[in-house]
Chain A
């Protein structure tokens, strides 16, 4: 195992010196001591992984095979019972739909805005550094704080609608309308994190060789054509990877929902994680919630494996 204690001499022993001509080689050679030190150095992380990642992961699968009503203190094996229940549960279907809607909306808005901002900031223009700071700043703002401020702005009589009224427009009650609540949650989340993707795209854009664009221009390509055929083509791997990462991140959205809409109105913004939270900590159905968690893990696993596969391919292409 990983907890092998070091022999006292491993730490107190004299530094390696050339003991040429010593009659017997000591057991604790430099190599052995090195290996022991290495193992000791990784052991906190390994124990942590075992206790807080692998153990819980195995446990959640095990729990998901049981009906576990915490309040009644019942823990009975039901096999695939929870999964059958999920398959027939309209609340779960709603949460899958809400998650899909959120993820797609987020990726489309986020990636297109991030790309647009990156292209604009890649121009030769005074003040781009300031704009970059402004667009990036929400990334470092506490998520819940950002969400609270937007919740305030999106109130029926809040800042957004007040300014719309000044302009003579009548804004909806954003967070209480079936059709606008999801839009509100998506926009708040896009504005929060688009700066990060923008910076990633900016780095990719700056890796596009100017000579290639120049060559295309020589061949008579217009600006749009140069952008589409050279720039966009060369940074497309980054776009794809950033998109997948954004989707994986979007599956974990929780605080925004909890603060802005509590999953409502109806179930229109009850995403998977919020549904999991409700089942586990409001209805105290740990077994059923675990089944939701396993489904969530399956989706994240597939997406992450795709991402890793793509990354390997692109890295290969780059070299």
Chain B
């Protein structure tokens, strides 16, 4: 749950520019280059500032290979001595961690796919089909942007409870797909389709395509950037969800990762740090790898989401 990424923001000054990227140096703006001592000082400052951003990840990974006796060893070591995979083995056996991993993964994938389908359909219809009442209905949908998940958690619990779906994955799949979290996706898709030139659709209509076929065969293939942005923030939102699983789930086999990570405790309730950090590493590293590989899409997706909402 990182609400900042999911809240609407103003359009970027300067209009529809891409999020900053490595291309910024070639955008033809004449920028002043700092004098050499200034550049060195700046570089060093950036190095120092990046420590609190990088060090936690480093510390997490190295600690996850340390035996428990070394976790709080002094002086602290930046590289694990007697590195062992035991914490990883424990992480997988103390809890049904593989099952929990799968839960998180399949729920996030389903939510992402469902959100793309429903939000693009709704976004397209709100933008291009001027059916009577479209604007009024759109305002109704937009209400979802005003309502944080925390506000409605009690009634949602009550609703889920009434349908006997407590301790199932249904609420974690269906509510994000159609409820408040998908509203921002609908908004983004609508903004995208509003900007689509209507000539393309007219051509499709000439060819005798139905409205739905125009959406599916002409509009959607063009919407790939918007779909990518929606997919990235929807996946991360589902992957990070914490309050909802905490409220809706009760058995360990059903848990998703964020909740599961907090469960590596000893008999006194104290965390078993190296095991917990091994599980955390397994949760974080794949996402970080994908982020580094598809950095541009991530930054653009998450920033666009903020900027366009």
Contacts and interface: CB of A to CB of B under 8 A. Distances in A.
B132 A301 contact: no
Interface of A: 2, 15-17, 33-39, 41-42, 44-49, 51-57, 59-60, 63, 117, 120-121, 123-125, 127-129, 131-146, 148-153, 155, 157-159, 162-163, 165-166, 191-193, 195-197, 199-200, 202-204, 206-207, 210, 234-235, 237-238, 241-242, 245-246, 248-249, 251-252, 254-255, 258-259, 273, 276-277, 280-281, 286, 289-290, 293-294, 296-297, 300-301, 304, 307-308, 310-311, 314-315, 318
The CB with the most chain A CB atoms within 10 A, among B49, B56, B151, B243, is that of B151
Interface stretch (B22-30, B86-94, B221-229): B22-30
Given A15-B210, A297-B147, A277 B243 contact: yes
B126 A42 contact: yes
A70 to B, nearest CB: 10
Chain B interface size range: 35 or more
Contacts of B254: none
A252 B6 CA distance: 12
Describe B's contact surface by its main secondary structure: helix
B63 A152 contact: yes
19 contacts: A16-B208, A39-B125, A42-B122, A42-B141, A45-B141, A45-B182, A47-B178, A53-B144, A57-B151, A137-B292, A143-B240, A146-B56, A148-B261, A166-B75, A203-B307, A204-B14, A206-B24, A210-B30, A258-B262
Interface string B233-255: 00010011011001100000000
A46 B137 contact: yes
Given A142-B239, A149-B56, A245-B9, A49 B179 contact: yes
Contact of A149 (B1, B59, B180, B183): B59
Contacts of B20: 121, 132, 199, 202-203, 206
Secondary structure type dominating chain A contacts:
helix
Contacts of B143: 49, 53-54, 57
A139 B5 contact: yes
Given A17-B208, A34-B129, A52-B175, A123 B72 contact: no
A57 B43 contact: no
Contact of B118 (A48, A241, A301, A310): A48
A207 B14 contact: yes
Given A38-B131, A44-B122, A153 B56 contact: yes
9 closest A-B pairs by beta carbon, nearest first, are: A48-B178, A52-B179, A207-B14, A38-B129, A15-B208, A56-B152, A56-B155, A144-B258, A249-B4
Contacts of A251: 148
B10 A237 contact: yes
B154 A63 contact: yes
A149 B303 CA distance: 25
Given A34-B129, A252-B3, A152 B273 contact: yes
Contact of A297 (B131, B151, B205, B284): B151
A258 B303 CA distance: 27
B211 A33 contact: yes
Given A196-B302, A314-B10, A15 B209 contact: yes
B154 A293 contact: yes
Given A127-B43, A134-B53, A60 B155 contact: yes
Contacts of B240: 142-144
A34 B131 contact: yes
A38 B4 contact: no
A133 B31 contact: no
A235 B13 contact: yes
Given A141-B287, A203-B307, 5 more contacts: A42-B141, A48-B182, A60-B151, A123-B31, A258-B246
A123 B42 contact: yes
Contact of B76 (A131, A166, A297): A166
Contacts of B72: 155, 157-158, 162
A158 B74 CA distance: 10
Contacts of B9: 200, 241-242, 245
A34 B74 CA distance: 71
B100 interface: no
B183 to A, nearest CB: 7
